[in-house]
């Protein structure tokens, strides 16, 4: 009986007794979810264009953030370093297309997937060679990202909002909106969807596969840069950030691999779900639920929506 | 075509034989000191300064003194990435080269190597980490973990907290939060923490941080805000540490009530928290700063001559000095081994004896050019492979660590019986655990 009370009654009683903490948990979940969504977005962009799960997205986040901090440390002003990092991400996208993807056109997806594994290990080694393994501090102030917190008295307590988290939520939302418009309303966006459906068919109607891939990998690089800045500002910039990318997997399962809105909604559900679960139910089993609870949510959704909430339903003739 | 293969074959055979001869010559003329390090991966921020400190001290001995006892040290690093599987691979690849001692630098790797050490006759030095119970020399003759176990560390933290609260009895009814990396290392002090909770009547709140969550931790710190522990204790590593310090500061937790174990006290750990990290506390076993003659020698012979990988501004930071401390233990054990065995070139079995009679008095620390760098090591023996030595408390002043206490002795009377019980349990669980056959030297 006691365990039933602890599982079914007590957490809800806590929510009612301390609504400020509930709001705080929801806020933390939404911010975390938005940042997960950013990572997931990088995966979605490349999956849409090539049908390939880009295993290297996590290390691209690290590489972009390290490049930014490294260039600034080398003496460049923050915004010059930011501009040059964008150039570096374009060069990376172009190089990936020329060296890795072009020779693999029309190869099975699994070959392209394995190529992204190779790319991951190359970027880890190359990044460590150039920047070393030491953690770096993100140039938050130099980029005029806000610091400190806003304490809002609410529900008999205080809801504390980090200014950086507010900025992260706004920047992430703006980025998602821009990308959604770009890929749904422009000619390039339509070409991208054609490439995703069939390389051969897209080539036959004159779409340049090379150009599309460079654009998409560059867009994924930009997303990685923004993700790296935000996560780096919340913690530090080190190769440990690579691990964060794993959190995008349940988001993708939940939202669908091909949907930008799916990445956002999936990210928010995972972010809020795992924080609520850890905060209210985690202590019952010794905590640490946030490392696996997202996958439980994803599995539950899979039972009812096998293609994810917004994924394309593919019906194949057999 | 045949001629081509013949030439290639001859060249290959020549290379192999030259390599074999070189290796043999190396083995005869030098003392092999492998270092399991991690300069890559998610824990590299902690691994790099340790690796640099360990390596630089040994290189300095080669450059300044021509090695130890006139024999050069053959130093070789093996990259583990703080990954247990890779660590075991490293061990397997070096165990045939007559290693003097293995430094796993990971509790996970140490736990895997403990059963292998006695079989391969290679001592394991898990300096202030690893399995606390391996301090019991009767059960673990090949494992050493001086100067203090994690359980000693926890007891020292409680001595400090008790001092601030006006006595350990004042902890009754209070709440102690324990945030830890979800791993063998992070869970190691839990049995003693729960025992202390019973003894002193406080409540424990555990906050587990999985490796994937190291750089987030928002849920854990939200729980801290709800539970309002009177003190927070941290057993973190790698990117977990700076993130925890940052989250604590963001959540307005009083930093002078937040104490890390010695592995949660690097300069980068506190620096990441910015000005708000001021006041954060951590135990330490080694001296801070470069105001020691031995460090000046390292600078002169190793850093300034380009033989080190350390960034000049990170020279003598806390974990770099921790690496030096580790290598002092290795070097002193080798010296002892040479003295005890009468041999110049020593390997695992001799160094095990050297470790078992390891003594570094205050005068010896001074002789080494490291006066006051560590507490005197005087209690390591055949029965006690740890010695349960003291540590001190340091505090982050916003820019650097400052020593704020004298040496704090562990509660050996509480720790030792629990260690012995734990060692017995380990042996019972591992059926067929070999009985100690190694004799004790007179000095130990």
Which residue do the tokens 């609410």 mark? A154
Residue A158 near chain B (CB below 8 Å)? no
Summarize the confidence of residues B320-335 as an average pLDDT. Answer: 98
Contact B324, B298 (CB under 8 A): yes
How many angstroms from the chain centroid is the CA of residue A219? Answer: 13
In a domain, A317, yes or no: no
Residue B195 near chain A (CB below 8 Å)? no
Domain count, chain B: 2
Taking an 8 Å cut-off on Cβ atoms, the answer to whether A234 and B215 are in contact is: yes
Q: Which range among A98-107, B25-34, B79-88, B407-416 shows the weakest confidence by mean pLDDT?
A: B25-34
B307 and B359 fall within a common domain? yes
Summarize the confidence of residues B314-330 as an average pLDDT. Answer: 97
Q: Which range among A120-124, A149-153, B431-435, B439-443 shows the weakest confidence by mean pLDDT?
A: B439-443
What CATH number should be reported for the domain holding residue A225?
1.10.3470
Q: State the SS3 of chain A.
A: CHHHHHHHHHHHHHHHHCHHHHHHHHHHHHHHHHHHHHHHHHHHHHHHHHCCCCCCHHHHHHHHHHHHHHHHHCCCCHHHHHHHHHHHHHHHHHHHHHHHHHHHCCCCHHHHHHHHHHHHHHHHHHHHHHHCCCCECCCCCCCCCCCCEEEEEECCEEEEEEHHHHHHHHHHHHHHHHHHHHHHHCHHHHHHHHHHHCHHHHHHCCCCHHHHHHHHHHHHHHHHHHHHHHHHHHCCECHHHHHHHHHHHHHHHHHCCCCHHHHHHHHHHHHHHHHHHHHHHHHHHCCCHHHCHHHHHHHHHHHHCCCCCCCCCCCCCC
Q: What is the pLDDT of residues A61-74, one digit of tens each?
A: 999 999 999 999 99
Q: CB neighbours (10 Å) of residue B98?
A: 16
B190 contact residues in A (CB cutoff 8 A): none
pLDDT at B444 over 50: no
Q: What is the pLDDT of residues B276-293, one digit of tens each?
A: 899 999 999 999 999 999
Which residue do the tokens 């703006």 mark? A174
Residues 6+ away with beta carbon under 8 Å from A170: none
Residue A288 near chain B (CB below 8 Å)? yes
The residue range of the domain holding A36 is 2-304
B296 and B339 fall within a common domain? yes
Summarize the confidence of residues B17-27 as an average pLDDT. Answer: 46
| Nearest-CA distance A244 → chain B (Å) | 6
How many angstroms from the chain centroid is the CA of residue A111? Answer: 23
Summarize the confidence of residues B92-118 as an average pLDDT. Answer: 95
Closest residue in A to B182 (Cα) is A288
Identify which has the larger pLDDT, B78 or A154. Answer: B78
Q: What is the pLDDT of residues B145-184, one digit of tens each?
A: 999 999 999 999 999 999 999 999 999 999 999 999 998 8
Give the pLDDT band (50/70/90) at residue B2: low
R_g (Cα) of chain B, nearest Å: 22
In a domain, B314, yes or no: yes
The residue range of the domain holding B96 is 27-148+288-388
Q: Which residues pair with A152 in a beta bridge?
A: A159
Q: What is the pLDDT of residues A227-244, one digit of tens each?
A: 999 989 888 888 888 877
pLDDT at residue B442, as a whole number:
65
B400 and B267 fall within a common domain? yes
B257 and B165 fall within a common domain? yes
Identify which has the larger pLDDT, B7 or B43. Answer: B43
Closest residue in B to A134 (Cα) is B45
pLDDT at residue B13, as a whole number:
52
Q: What is the largest CA-CA distance in chain B?
A: 87
Q: CA-based angle B269:B271:B273, to the nearest 5?
A: 85
Query: Average pLDDT over chain B, rounded to whole?
Result: 91
B207 and B140 fall within a common domain? no
Whole-number Å distance between alpha carbons of A102 and A105: 6
pTM: 0.84
In a domain, A316, yes or no: no
Taking an 8 Å cut-off on Cβ atoms, the answer to whether A244 and B206 are in contact is: no
B161 and B280 fall within a common domain? yes
pLDDT at residue B11, as a whole number:
55
Q: Mutation test of the interface with chain B: which of A169, A250, A288, choosing the one with the most B Cβ atoms within 10 A?
A: A288
Alpha-helix residue ranges (DSSP H) falling in B179-314:
184-187, 190-200, 218-227, 240-250, 267-271, 293-298
B48 contact residues in A (CB cutoff 8 A): 132-134
In a domain, B9, yes or no: no
Distances (CA, A) of B149 to A54, B303, B386, B391, B416: 44, 32, 7, 11, 10
Phi, psi of A82, deg, nearest 5: -65, -45
Summarize the confidence of residues B240-256 as an average pLDDT. Answer: 92
Residue B43 near chain A (CB below 8 Å)? yes
CA proximity to B59, closest of B273, B254, B297, B290: B297
B132 and B45 fall within a common domain? yes
pLDDT at residue B62, as a whole number:
98
Taking an 8 Å cut-off on Cβ atoms, the answer to whether A21 and B43 are in contact is: no
Give the pLDDT band (50/70/90) at residue B20: very low
pLDDT at B18 over 50: no
What CATH number should be reported for the domain holding residue B207?
3.40.50.2300
Summarize the confidence of residues B64-80 as an average pLDDT. Answer: 97
B65 and B109 fall within a common domain? yes
Question: DSSP for B22-81?
Answer: HHHHHHHHEEEEEEEE--SSTTHHHHHHHHHHHHHHHHHIIIIISSBTTBEEEEEEEE-T
Summarize the confidence of residues B12-16 as an average pLDDT. Answer: 50
Which B residues, 231 through 250, put their C-beta within 8 Å of a C-beta on chain A?
238-239, 242-243, 246, 250
Q: What is the pLDDT of residues A129-148, one digit of tens each?
A: 898 887 888 999 999 999 88
B124 and B166 fall within a common domain? no
In a domain, A314, yes or no: no
Whole-number Å distance between alpha carbons of B28 and B50: 29
pLDDT at B15 over 70: no
In a domain, B437, yes or no: no
Give the pLDDT band (50/70/90) at residue A245: confident
In a domain, A144, yes or no: yes
| DSSP state at residue B320 | H
Q: What is the pLDDT of residues A179-221, one digit of tens each?
A: 888 878 888 888 887 887 777 888 888 888 888 889 999 999 9
pLDDT at residue B25, as a whole number:
41
Domain count, chain A: 1
Q: CB neighbours (10 Å) of residue B421?
A: 13
Taking an 8 Å cut-off on Cβ atoms, the answer to whether B182 and A291 are in contact is: yes
pLDDT at B1 over 60: no
Share of chain B above pLDDT 90, in %: 82
B252 contact residues in A (CB cutoff 8 A): 160
Residue A244 near chain B (CB below 8 Å)? yes
Q: Which two tokens stand for residue B64?
A: 């300044």
Contact B156, B261 (CB under 8 A): no
pLDDT at B5 over 80: no
B223 contact residues in A (CB cutoff 8 A): 278-279, 282-283, 287
In a domain, B339, yes or no: yes
Share of chain A above pLDDT 70, in %: 98
pLDDT at residue B22, as a whole number:
44
In a domain, B376, yes or no: yes
B130 and B235 fall within a common domain? no
Whole-number Å distance between alpha carbons of B227 and A268: 26
Distances (CA, A) of B384 to A151, B340, B351, B426: 53, 19, 16, 16
Share of chain B above pLDDT 70, in %: 93
Query: Average pLDDT over chain A, rounded to whole?
Result: 88
In a domain, A297, yes or no: yes
Whole-number Å distance between alpha carbons of B72 and B95: 19
Summarize the confidence of residues B391-397 as an average pLDDT. Answer: 97
pLDDT at residue B24, as a whole number:
45
Summarize the confidence of residues B32-37 as an average pLDDT. Answer: 97
pLDDT at residue A316, as a whole number:
66
| DSSP state at residue B303 | I
Summarize the confidence of residues A154-159 as an average pLDDT. Answer: 86
Handedness of CA A116, A117, A121, A122 (dihedral sign): negative
pLDDT at residue B8, as a whole number:
54
Taking an 8 Å cut-off on Cβ atoms, the answer to whether A243 and B212 are in contact is: yes
Taking an 8 Å cut-off on Cβ atoms, the answer to whether A278 and B223 are in contact is: yes
B142 and B197 fall within a common domain? no
pLDDT at residue B137, as a whole number:
95
Whole-number Å distance between alpha carbons of B185 and B131: 8
pLDDT at residue B373, as a whole number:
97
pLDDT at B10 over 80: no
B295 and B347 fall within a common domain? yes
Taking an 8 Å cut-off on Cβ atoms, the answer to whether A278 and B314 are in contact is: no
Residues 6+ away with beta carbon under 8 Å from B218: A28, A31, A32, A275, B247
């Amino acid at each position: 009986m006691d365990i039933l009370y602890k599982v079914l009654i007590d957490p809800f009683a806590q929510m009612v007794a301390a609504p400020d903490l509930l709001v705080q948990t929801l806020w933390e979940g939404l911010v975390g979810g938005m940042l997960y969504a950013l990572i997931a977005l990088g995966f979605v962009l490349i999956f849409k264009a090539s049908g390939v799960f880009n295993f290297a997205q996590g290390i691209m986040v690290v590489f972009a953030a390290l490049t930014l901090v490294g260039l600034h440390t080398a003496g460049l002003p923050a915004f010059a370093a930011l501009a040059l990092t964008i150039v570096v991400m374009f060069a990376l996208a172009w190089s990936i297309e020329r060296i890795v993807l072009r020779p693999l056109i029309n190869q099975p997806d699994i070959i392209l997937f394995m190529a992204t594994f190779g790319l991951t290990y190359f970027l880890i080694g190359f990044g460590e060679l150039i920047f070393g393994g030491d953690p770096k501090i993100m140039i938050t102030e130099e980029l005029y990202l806000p610091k400190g917190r806003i304490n809002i008295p609410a529900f008999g307590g205080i809801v504390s909002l980090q200014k950086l988290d507010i900025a992260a939520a706004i920047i992430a939302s703006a980025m998602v909106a821009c990308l959604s418009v770009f890929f749904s309303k422009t000619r390039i966006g339509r070409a991208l969807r054609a490439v995703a459906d069939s390389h051969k068919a897209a080539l036959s109607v004159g779409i340049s596969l090379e150009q599309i891939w460079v654009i998409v990998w560059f867009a994924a690089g930009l997303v990685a840069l923004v993700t790296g800045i935000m996560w780096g500002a919340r913690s530090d910039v080190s190769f440990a950030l690579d691990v964060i990318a794993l959190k995008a997997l349940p988001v993708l399962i939940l939202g669908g691999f091909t949907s930008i809105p799916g990445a956002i909604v999936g990210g928010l559900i995972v972010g809020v779900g795992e924080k609520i679960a850890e905060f209210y139910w985690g202590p019952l089993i010794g905590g640490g639920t946030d490392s696996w609870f997202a996958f439980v949510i994803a599995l539950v959704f899979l039972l009812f929506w096998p293609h994810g909430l917004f994924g394309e339903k593919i019906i194949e003739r057999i | 075509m045949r001629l081509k293969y013949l030439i290639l074959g001859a060249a290959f055979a020549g290379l192999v034989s030259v390599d074999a001869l070189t290796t043999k010559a190396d083995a005869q003329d030098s003392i092999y000191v492998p270092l399991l390090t991690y300069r890559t991966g998610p824990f590299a921020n902690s691994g790099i300064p340790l690796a640099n400190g360990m390596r630089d001290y040994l290189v300095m001995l080669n450059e300044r003194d021509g090695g130890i006892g006139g024999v050069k040290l053959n130093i070789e690093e093996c990259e583990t990435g703080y990954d247990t599987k890779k660590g075991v691979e490293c061990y397997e690849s070096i165990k045939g080269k007559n290693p003097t001692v293995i430094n796993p630098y990971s509790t996970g790797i140490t736990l895997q190597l403990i059963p292998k050490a006695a079989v391969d006759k290679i001592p394991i030095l898990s300096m202030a980490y690893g399995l606390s119970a391996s301090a019991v020399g009767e059960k673990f003759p090949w494992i050493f973990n001086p100067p203090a176990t994690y359980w000693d560390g926890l007891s020292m933290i409680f001595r400090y907290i008790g001092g601030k609260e006006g006595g350990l009895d004042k902890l009754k009814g209070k709440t102690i939060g324990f945030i830890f990396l979800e791993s063998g290392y992070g869970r190691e002090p839990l049995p003693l923490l729960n025992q202390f909770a019973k003894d002193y009547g406080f409540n424990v709140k555990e906050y587990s941080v999985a490796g994937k969550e190291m750089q987030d931790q928002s849920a854990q710190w939200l729980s801290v805000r709800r539970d309002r522990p009177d003190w927070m204790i941290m057993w973190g590593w790698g990117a977990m540490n700076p993130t925890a310090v940052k989250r604590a500061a963001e959540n307005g937790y009083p930093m002078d009530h937040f104490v890390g174990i010695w592995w949660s006290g690097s300069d980068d750990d506190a620096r990441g928290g910015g000005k708000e990290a001021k006041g954060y506390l951590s135990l330490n076993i080694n001296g801070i700063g470069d105001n020691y003659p031995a460090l000046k020698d390292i600078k002169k012979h190793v850093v300034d001559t380009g033989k080190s990988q350390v960034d000049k501004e990170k020279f003598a930071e806390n974990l770099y000095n921790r690496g030096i401390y580790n290598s002092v233990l290795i070097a002193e054990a080798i010296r002892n081994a040479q003295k005890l065995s009468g041999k110049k070139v020593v390997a695992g079995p001799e160094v095990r004896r050297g470790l078992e009679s390891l003594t570094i008095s205050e005068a010896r620390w001074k002789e080494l050019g490291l006066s006051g760098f560590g507490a005197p090591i005087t209690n390591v023996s055949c029965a006690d492979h740890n010695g349960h030595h003291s540590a001190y408390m340091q505090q982050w002043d916003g820019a650097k660590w400052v020593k704020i206490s004298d040496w704090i002795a562990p509660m050996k009377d509480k720790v030792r019986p629990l260690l012995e019980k734990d060692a017995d349990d380990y042996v019972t669980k591992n059926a067929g655990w070999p009985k100690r056959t190694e004799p004790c030297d007179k000095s130990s």
